[in-house]
Structure 1
Amino acid sequence: MKNKGFTTRLVHADRMVNSPENGAVHQATTNSVLFEFKEAQDIVDVFQGKKAGHVYGRSSTASNVALQNILNHIEDGVGAITFATGMAAITATMLSLFKAGDHIIVSHFLFGNTRSLIETMESLGIEISYVDVTDVINVKSALKINTKAVYLETIANPVTQVADLRAIGQLCQAENILFLVDNTMTPANMFNAKSVLASLTIGSLTKYIAGHGNVLGGVVVDTGVFDWESFENILPIYRGTDIAQWGLTQIKKRGLRDMGATLSPTSAHAISVGLETLALRTNKICENAMRLASYLHGHEHVAAVYYPGLADHPQHFLAREHFKGYGGILSFDLTDGIDPIAFLNALNLVICATHLGDTRTLALPVASTIYFECTAEQRHEMNVSDNMIRMSIGIEDVDDLVADFEQAFAQF
């Protein structure tokens, strides 16, 4: 399968990677919560990690493992764990691997919900430094003797700052610290996280992976880059014979099993089906986003456009280096005098909704919704203006999207 094209691999992944029974092209949905063991010693061995198997639906099912295998396959990792949501994946990873007294460097541009979680971690005694990750120098300056990890998003939401990924990955490897990369905005067909030495990729399956706004999910993939033997936070009980699995084992036991944010089998199936068209959808989305960004750039009613594909974007060259396509997130500031609420109400085709990576184009006013809990000072530091509108571009015919903007702007 490795010599085949990306979409060919995805379309055939379930039957080739997982080998479903009875000639099915998709893994059957396993809805059983409990699993029988004919020999009592077998359940003991599975509980103790000596043998593979399922003991309880909260920890694993065949449906979840099948999706994990596909996600690990496309990331070229050593293993994956799925969760009920992307935030569950982030939370489980953070609270499983770090403890009071540890220091983590995080992106200054983290999405609002993730930043809220990081603030919770601070209240638990984990030290946090917020830095501008568009330049590795800022990350290097924040290093401390107790630094355990760097955590960032490939493309920030909503202002689309692009992280200095390769340089930060090299720094983390040199310092022997974890490099945690949220690649929700740039899935595997757009970005090779392993090539920049990411230790773990963390992402929302809800967005571009599933792609149709009908299912929630999250995932953590271990790329195999990091040497877990050097990570002192791995508990002795999880230090098995396969060192490459230490991190995932602790996340699965302490994060998935104990915290309980399990992906349902039916959700796993829906995600695996949506995943088949990932490249087709994101290629069209990136094409549409570039066209809309170019249209909005310089428009008399638009003060600024934030999209990595534009030549004047501060990290345009970083984005061009790392990504195949510039993503589907586009934000822009309306000029003074145009109310974002009124403008959104003037759009007919574009849907006012909070979501990303859908087949439909979505938009919302940023400051008063997803960044409402941030102070005005925090929003200013992240370059989020009161007139900002964030868009998640869909797969519609782009001329129809431009026409919708034309008629909306004509009303002001």
Structure 2
Amino acid sequence: MSDHKNTGFTTSILHSDRQKSIEHGSLHKPIHTSVAFGYKDARELAAVFQGKQPGYRYGRQGNPTVSALEDKITRMEGAYGTICFATGMAAIGAIFQGLLRQGDHVVSSSFLFGNTNSLWQTVNAQGVAVSFADATDVRQIEAALTPATRIVFVETIANPRTQVADLKRIGRLCHDRGILYVVDNTMTSPYLFQAKSVGAGLVVNALTKSICGHGNALGGSLSDTGLFDWTGFPNIAENYKRFAPIQWGMAQVRAKALRDFGAALGPEAAHHIALGAETLALRLERACASALAISRMLEADPRVAAVHYPGLPSHPQHTLATELFRHYGSLFSFELAAGIDCFDYLNRLKLGIPASNLGDTRTLVIPVAHTIFFEMGAERRAGMGIADSLIRVSVGIEDTADLVEDFRQALEV
């Protein structure tokens, strides 16, 4: 069977399952629902548990269907290895659970997904200090570093205001200081951007979003690009140093965060995500084109106060986004002019569906300040530039002309 390392993005994903032995000639890795794996030789079972040979121990720590998905994500990210989790938030939580200790320090972008912001607040209360800085400016990140800083965490494009992090310069800073650089690639996906290209050591993907793409499975992943030197990371337990240094981080996360904490991805969800991933590039080509078309229409309309989308020349990081990403993403947000009620506007949409997910085949809309960012309070929202009228739009794969017309007609009062 030929290797597909040098083929295109979609070709590689489509044929990745068949790069390893697959049961009965199936084109997709079958769904393995067993939570236990038996061995004819008890010594072989012991060797698997001791890490002396590959194999499966228990469903919480690994499963053939999940492993096949992990291989897909590894290929997408050009990474060394990947661990999948039950959700994207579980993947982010695994960083804290598996790699950080009391007294450590994290520098995080201040422009964050609401639940990630909430998680860092929890982490801060449990003895790992977290500082927030404007990731659009590497100088702000540098100023926040301390001798105890173990991780710098950023999102590629912020949700929902679409600020673009200074990814390359932050990557160089982390490399020079020996700090683990973690990039959440959810908003771009591996099709639009490979975080390895800017020096990320670990890459987060909320698989629920664009990679799955059909709103029918939860999942998350953490990929090790192979770029970070784990020998300089002080929190690796001696037990995991029996492996080659490039394996230390993944070995400890798989044990301390996946095995011990238990946020395992189920095989049925893994199968849904793996099938959805096959059309990632095709879906994003349509969705990104539509997001740009709708954004341009809204920006030109006086009934719209502001549009936030990296594809617009008016966006503060438009040039940076053009340099970094294949396209500008399928998500944008906008603010209505004074006097236009955001709820009334949303109710006039015929295609946009009020819902909290993103990266779906369907276009989803949500009033941000009143829903997903309501809990953080008005002061924190103001600091993140989230206006009360802000509407987030996750563009789907509907026909572009239909979407442009729908967002236009809803402006008619």
Q: If the length of structure 2 is used for normalisation, what is the TM-score?
A: 0.98
Q: State the match for 1:211 in structure 2.
A: 213
Specify the alignment match of 2:169 in structure 1: 167
2:62 aligned partner: 60
How far apart are residue 3 of structure 1 and its match? Answer: 2.1
SS at structure 2 position matched to 1:234: coil
Q: For residues 281 and 261 of structure 2, what CA distance do their matches in structure 1 show? A: 33
Aligned to 1:22: 24
Instruction: Tell me the alpha carbon deviations over residues 335-373 of structure 1, each in whole angstroms, 9 at most, x when there is no partner.
Output: 111111111111111111011100111101000001001
Aligned to 1:242: 244
Q: 2:314 aligns with which of 312, 315, 320?
A: 312
Which one of the candidate residues 2, 16, 20 is aligned to 2:5? 2
Q: Which runs of 4+ in 1 moved over 2 A?
A: none
Distance 2:100 2:320 in 1: 30
Residue 152 of structure 1 aligns to a residue whose secondary structure is strand
Q: Which amino acid aligns with 2:12?
A: R
1:57-136 equivalences under 5 Å are 57-136=59-138
Partner of 1:227: 229
DSSP-derived class of the 1:155 partner: coil
Partner of 1:184: 186
366, 373, 387: which one aligns with 2:375: 373
After superposition, where does 1:217-366 map in structure 2 within 5 Å?
217-366=219-368
In the TM superposition, residue 23 of structure 1 has moved relative to its aligned partner by 1.4
Match of 1:12 in 2: 15
In the comparison of the two structures, how many residue pairs are matched?
Answer: 410
User: Aligned AA for 2:293?
Assistant: R
Report the residue type matching 2:16 in the other structure: A
Shift of 1:129: 0.8
Separation (CA, whole Å) in 2 of partners of 1:250 and 1:134? 31
Matched residue, 1:44? 46
Structure 1 gap segments, 5+ residues each: none
The Cα of 1:396 is off from its aligned counterpart by 0.6
**TM-score, L = length of structure 1:** 0.98
- Kindly provide the amino acid, as one letter, of the partner of residue 241 in structure 1: F
CA deviations 1:63-101 (Å, max 9, x no partner) are 111111111112121110001100011111222100110
Query: SS of the counterpart of 1:59?
Result: coil
- 8 Å contact from structure 2 (residues 85, 221) kept in 1: yes
| Aligned mates of 2:44, 2:10 — CA distance in 1 | 39
Deviations 1:303-349 (A, max 9, x none): 00000000010011111111000001110001111111111111111
- Offset from partner CA, 1:377-410 (integer Å, 9 cap, x none): 1111100000100000011111111221222111
Residue 178 of structure 1 and its aligned partner are, at CA, apart by 0.3
Aligned to 2:141: 139
Letter in 1 for 2:408: E
Offset at residue 61 of structure 1 (A):
0.8
| CA–CA distance in structure 1, aligned partners of residues 38 and 197 of structure 2 | 42
Aligned residue type for 1:267: A
SS of aligned partner of 2:132: strand
Identity %: 50
Q: Distance in 2 between matches of 1:167 and 1:199?
A: 14
Q: Distance in 2 between matches of 1:276 and 1:302?
A: 36
Question: In the aligned structure 1, how far is the partner of 2:182 from the partner of 2:242?
Answer: 23
RMSD: 0.9
Post-superposition shift, 1:5?
1.3
Q: Distance in 2 between matches of 1:407 and 1:175?
A: 52
Contact 2:298 2:408 in 1 (8 A): no
Task: Kindly state the Cα deviation for residue 21 of structure 1 after the two structures are TM-superposed.
Answer: 2.2
Structure 2: gaps (5+ residues): none
